């Protein structure tokens, strides 16, 4: 038992050393599933890499990892060397670690309880040779359980959380609890992003609030947290994600891509204001 404790201490020491080489750590959280966390994390990584930053993405969705698919790098293998496990390299030299690289096929489930997941996350942080990065984006799974809790406890200097919500009231309630989670753990919140906000018919131009509208703004006002913007529904986002091509590059001129770039500017502004400019 004592040996196990020593081993964990040693692991935490390694995590500290690895994390000290990364200037900014941002986590993407929601509480709710299917609101576009992974799509936003992947596109944010691309946007930052295009600005010249060195970027890594840690996909903490152990059961349903989607980052490799969205970045078009499924099937890669993680090499290992003396410095540790090397992340896979995605577009624009983005470094990616995901459970998806460790699974033999699409049908293999990850049937793990909390402690197993905690173990995997500890390893991702302690043994991956991320190297010197400007940004590590951490894509969290739905819920406020083991995975986000482990991340918040293991990385003591997270710069902030990006909270993603869909516009619906059902989503808002879940996301409010996730904001409560960040407050209870005293992790700073960058702000709220409303995703899948309204739909403009590409044929007739009529606007529809398919999944509602305004939920992010409402949360922001009610709970006094910054609002980072709303990204409209655009079927090309889904198509690009399925194809593994970054939407914000492929469709840079769309309202959705522009809304997205405004979010990126606000994230940079947030870091500047905190005095921790990348």
**Residues at the contact surface with a second copy, assessed by CB under 8 A:** 31-35, 38, 62-64, 66, 69-70, 103, 106-115, 117-118, 141-146, 149, 166, 168-171, 173-174, 176-181, 184-185, 199, 201-204, 206, 208-212, 223, 233, 235, 238-239, 241-242
Q: Which residues contact 65 (CB under 8 A, 6 or more apart)?
A: 59, 98, 99, 100
Q: How far is the CB of 173 from a second copy (least distance, A)?
A: 5
Which H helix or E strand runs over 102?
Answer: none
To the nearest whole angstrom, how small is the minimum distance from the Cβ of residue 58 to a second copy? 17
Q: How far apart are CA 50 and CA 22, in angstroms?
A: 18
Cβ closer to a second copy: 114 or 188? 114
Q: Cβ of residue 32: shortest distance to a second copy, in angstroms?
A: 6
As measured in angstroms, the least distance from the Cβ of 82 to a second copy is 33
Asked whether the beta carbons of 158 and 26 are under 8 A apart, the reply is yes
**Identity of the residue, 133 or 152, whose beta carbon is nearer to a second copy in the bound complex:** 152
Q: Closer to a second copy by CB, 75 or 275: give it.
A: 75
Is residue 259 within 8 A of residue 89, CB to CB? The reply is: no
Q: How far apart are CA 34 and CA 40, in angstroms?
A: 11
Helices of type H across 128-227: 146-154, 169-184, 215-223
Question: At closest approach, how far in Å is the CB of 102 from a second copy?
Answer: 13
Closer to a second copy by Cβ: residue 108 or 273: 108
Between 24 and 32, whose beta carbon lies closer to a second copy? Answer: 32
Which residue from 219, 62, 238 is spatially nearest to 139, judged by alpha carbons? 62
Spatial separation of the C-alpha atoms in residues 246 and 179, rounded to whole Å: 28
């Amino acid at each position: 038992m004592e040996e196990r404790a020593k081993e964990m201490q040693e692991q935490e020491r390694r995590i500290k050393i690895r994390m000290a080489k990364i200037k900014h750590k941002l986590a993407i959280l929601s509480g709710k599933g299917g609101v576009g966390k992974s799509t936003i994390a992947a596109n944010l990584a691309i946007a930052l890499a295009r600005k010249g930053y060195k970027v890594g993405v840690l996909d903490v969705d152990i059961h349903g990892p989607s980052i490799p698919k969205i970045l078009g790098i499924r099937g890669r293998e993680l090499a290992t060397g003396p410095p540790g496990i090397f992340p896979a390299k995605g577009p624009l030299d983005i470094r990616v670690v995901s459970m998806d690289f460790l699974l033999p096929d699409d049908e293999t489930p990850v049937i793990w309880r909390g402690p197993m997941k905690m173990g995997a996350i500890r390893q991702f942080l302690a043994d991956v040779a991320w190297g010197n990065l400007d940004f590590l984006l951490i894509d969290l799974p739905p819920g406020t359980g083991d995975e986000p809790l482990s991340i918040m406890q293991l990385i003591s200097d997270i710069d902030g959380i990006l909270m993603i919500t869909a516009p619906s009231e059902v989503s808002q309630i879940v996301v409010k609890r996730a904001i409560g989670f960040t407050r209870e753990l005293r992790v700073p919140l960058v702000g709220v992003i409303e995703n899948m906000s309204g739909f403009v018919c590409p044929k007739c131009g009529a606007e529809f609030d398919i999944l509602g509208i305004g939920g992010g703004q409402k949360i922001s006002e009610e709970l006094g947290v910054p609002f980072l913007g709303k990204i409209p529904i655009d079927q090309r986002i889904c198509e690009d994600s399925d194809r593994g091509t970054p939407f914000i590059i492929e469709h840079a001129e769309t309202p959705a891509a522009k809304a997205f770039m405004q979010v990126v500017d606000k994230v940079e502004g947030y870091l500047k204001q905190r005095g921790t400019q990348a």
